[in-house]
Amino acid sequence: MTVDFETPLTLPCGAVIENRFGKSAMTEGLADPDNCASEELIHLYGQWSDGGCGLLISGNVFVDRRYLERPGNVAVDNNGGLDKLAAFAEAGKRSGNHFWMQISHAGRASPALCCEQPVAPSAIPLELPAEHFHAPRAMEHDEIVGVIDRYEITAEAAKDAGFTGVQIHSAHGNLLSEFLSPRTNKRDDQWGGALENRASLLLQIFDRVRKVVGPDYPISVKLNAADFQKGGFSHEESLTVARWLAERGVDLLEVSGGNFEQPVPVLGAKMPSSGGFVRESTIKREAYFMQYAEDARRTVQCPLMITGGFRTRAGMAAALDAKVLDIIGLGRPLCTDAHAVTKLLNGDIEVFPDYENRLDPVTPDQLGPDAGADDALAANFFGYLGWFCLNLQAIARGEKPNTSMTMLEAAMAYVEGEQATAARWHSVWPGT
C-alpha cells in the first residue's frame, strides 16, 4: 500500500491516527504555580489541535512534584487541578486528532532552580555546572517501586481526564533513561548491571500502565536511539529494548537521542556539543535518526515515530515511502507556526521554517571581557532552547512569535523568565 501524509494509521491497540504527522513533546513552562494546566497552556494546545497534526503529545507531565524539569511543568501529584487537566485534554483534541499525555520523572536532571537534591539510579552528578544541577543521591529500592506506582496513578488520571493516550518518556536523560544507561546506573541490585535489569523499571512501568488503562488505549514510549556518550546507552541496547517493548504491545515507539550532557535534540547537528554524530548522508535526507529507524524496522514491527530534522515535503514523503517509519515527528516548526502542517497539507508551503539554521551562536565577546568558552556554550544552550520556548509561549498568549530574536536575547529572556516562574512556584508550595 502506498502511504502518504493523509493515510490513516491503525495502532496495535486498534486506535486510528488520522494522518502521518505527530507533534512531539516540547517543554512549555506554562503551568500555574500549583503545577496545574493554565489557560495559556489550554489555548496553545487548542491552536495546535487546529493545526493539522493527527497526533499531539504534551510536554512532560511529572509524576513527582519534587523532581521537575522546570518549575513551570504540569504535575499529577496530589496537587488538584483535575478540572484544568480535563480542559487541557479537551482543547488538545478538539479538532478530532489524538492528544496523548507524556508522563515523566526528571531524575538527576531536575535543576537547582527547583530541586535541592535530585534522585538517580546512582549518585553520579551531571557533568554540568553544580550551580545549575545539584548532585543526586541514589534511590532506595522502595523509592524505585514507588515510582512505578506514580506512573500508574498519572496514566489513570490522563485517561480519566480525556487524553486519548499516554507516552512514557524514557529518553533525553530523565530518570528512566538514567536507569537504562550503564554510564549513570552503577547499581549492583535487581535494577542495575545487565540490560534486562537496567530496563526493568521501564518495562514494569509499561506493564502497570497497560493494566490500568486497558488493552485498547494507546501507550507510546519515547526511547533514545543512543546517548551518544562513551559508556552510555548504546544503539544495540536500544534496539533490544525496542524489541522487548514491541513484544509487550507498545503502540508507538518514538525515537530521539541524547541527554542534558549531550543535548542532540536541543542543539542539533550544527552545534559543537553535538559531538558530530550525525552522518552527512543523514543530514541530506533530513531526519537525524533514520539509520536507527532502518535498523529498528528489521527488528520490530511496531509503529515508529521519528523526530528531529524533518523540514521539506520531499524529504518527509521519501521517509514515509521508504516504509521505515510511520509518523513524522515535528517540534521546532510548530513553535513559530501552530498551523504549519495544515499549510503543508493544503499545498501552501513546501518547506517548514528552519530557524535553527539561521541563529548566530553567542560568542564570548558578546558576554563581556571575563567570559570564556564555557560561558558562551551555556548561553547557546539556553538561547537555543529559549528561542523556541519563548515563541511557543507567545502563541499561548495569543501573540505573534518574535522570529527576529537573537540567540543572546533569547538566552537572557529565557533565564529571566525561569527565575520569575521559580519565585512564584516557591512562594506557594511548601515542599520546596
Identity of residue 240: T
Per-residue pLDDT of the chain (432 residues; tens, 9 = 90+): 678 999 999 999 999 999 999 999 999 999 999 999 999 999 999 999 999 999 999 999 999 999 999 999 999 999 999 999 999 999 999 999 999 999 999 999 999 999 999 999 999 998 766 677 899 999 999 999 999 999 999 999 999 999 999 999 999 889 999 999 999 999 999 999 999 999 999 999 999 999 999 999 999 999 988 766 666 788 899 999 999 999 999 999 998 765 444 444 444 444 333 333 334 444 344 566 778 888 888 888 899 999 878 899 999 998 898 888 999 999 999 999 999 999 999 999 999 988 988 899 999 999 999 998 888 888 888 898 899 999 999 999 999 999 999 999 999 999 999 999 999 888 887 665
Q: What is the pLDDT of residue 284?
A: 43
Q: What is the pLDDT of residue 281?
A: 44
Q: What is the pLDDT of residue 396?
A: 98
Q: What is the pLDDT of residue 381?
A: 83
Please name the helix (run of DSSP H) or strand (run of DSSP E) that holds residue 55, with its range, or none.
strand 55-57
Q: What is the pLDDT of residue 322?
A: 86
Q: In terms of DSSP bridges, do strands 9-10 and 16-17 run parallel, antiparallel, or are they unpaired?
A: antiparallel
Q: What is the pLDDT of residue 274?
A: 34
User: How far, in Å, CA of 346 to CA of 350, rounded?
Assistant: 10
pTM of the model: 0.93
> What's the angle, vertex CA 36, arms to CA 76 and CA 136, rounded to 5?
55
Count CB neighbours of 290 within 10 A.
Answer: 25
Nearest alpha carbon to residue 327 among 100, 82, 95, 113: 100
Nearest alpha carbon to residue 331 among 27, 103, 57, 26: 26
Q: What is the pLDDT of residue 431?
A: 62
**DSSP per-residue string spanning 126-150:** -SS-TTTSPPPEEPPHHHHHHHHHH
Q: What is the pLDDT of residue 280?
A: 42
